[in-house]
Amino acid sequence: MIETLSAGPDAAGERLDRYLASKLPALSRARVQALIDEGKIHVDGKAARASLRLRGAEAIRVEIPAPEPIALLPEAIPLSVVFQDKQLLVLDKPAGLVVHPGAGNKGGTLVNALLHHVKDLAGIGGELRPGIVHRLDKDTSGLMVVAKTQAALEALQKAFASREVDKRYLALVAGQPPDSGQFDTLHGRDPKNRLRFSGKVKRGKRAVTRFTVVRRFKEAALVEIELLTGRTHQIRMHFAEGGFPLLGDALYGGRKQSKSPIIARQALHAARLSFVHPKTGKTVAFTAAPPKDFEQAMARLSKR
């Protein structure tokens, strides 16, 4: 696919990679830089550099290669199943497991494991995300629900969208937050880092996070979190921008958390999940205790 753009006066002085990322929403800044390195972006007929400062009157040509097809194959990856019936499956996802295939993760994902565990899952909800109702970040552990029928998928997706699902998390955060509180902000892509999200944006969707401190340590706290909305990185974004980054969160916590001696990943665990069963109409609730690394982190904190 070829995209052609004419840089207007508003582009004057802007870096090429930043300008293209803002004009082509389907491309992250990192993806734009990769295309530049591959020689697939030309300005006024010449191969360009990412750092090129535009004058505001250039013709830009972007060649976007077609995505390589991903063949989803069942893989015998162990799963910790909390509950299962003919309509759905609830599992306790370990930290480090990616939910679905994508760039750099063509196998070894939760979806590959599910295709092995649930023989007739393929095709429910889409080829690349069969049965997936919601997701957790790679390094977040805890409860997820997976639909095993199309009807269950649609019912659960509707419940999540209408905020009828009770999702509770446990997190270890730096500092001493108030005993309870609520973050209520906008949510959008961070203009300075496309890998992150920010509540300090001019336009975006509403994001609401409620929390209560469960236990305090000398320089940290264990908090229980209720998600009233379900935006990407919502908890991590809110606590970092509130001054209490999650322990071990390299992306949002900066250099100090990237080298955290307490835990090697963001200290976030989906501990409770409650929703109306799509078949029976009854409310079901599930809990999962924090994994070993989370418990070890609390033990380390208690000794400080």
Catalytic residues: 137
CA 275 to chain centre: 21
First to last CA, the chain: 56
Question: What contacts 162, CB < 8 A, 6 or more positions away?
Answer: none
Rounded to whole angstroms, the Cα distance separating 244 from 221 reads 9
The phi and psi torsions of 234 (rounded to 5 degrees) equal: -55, -50
CA triplet 142, 93, 290: central angle to 5 degrees?
A: 40
Rounded to whole angstroms, the Cα distance separating 150 from 113 reads 19
Q: Is 68 helix (H, G, I), strand (E, B) or coil?
A: coil
188-210 residues labelled b (16+ CB within 10 A) or e (exposed):
bbbeeebebbbbeeeebeebbbe
Q: Is 62 helix (H, G, I), strand (E, B) or coil?
A: strand
Q: For residue 100, which amino acid is it?
A: H
Which strands, in side-by-side order, build the sheet including 2-6? 2-6, 59-63, 41-43, 46-47
Which alpha helices (H) appear in the chain, and where do they start and end? 16-23, 29-37, 110-117, 150-161, 234-241, 250-258, 292-302
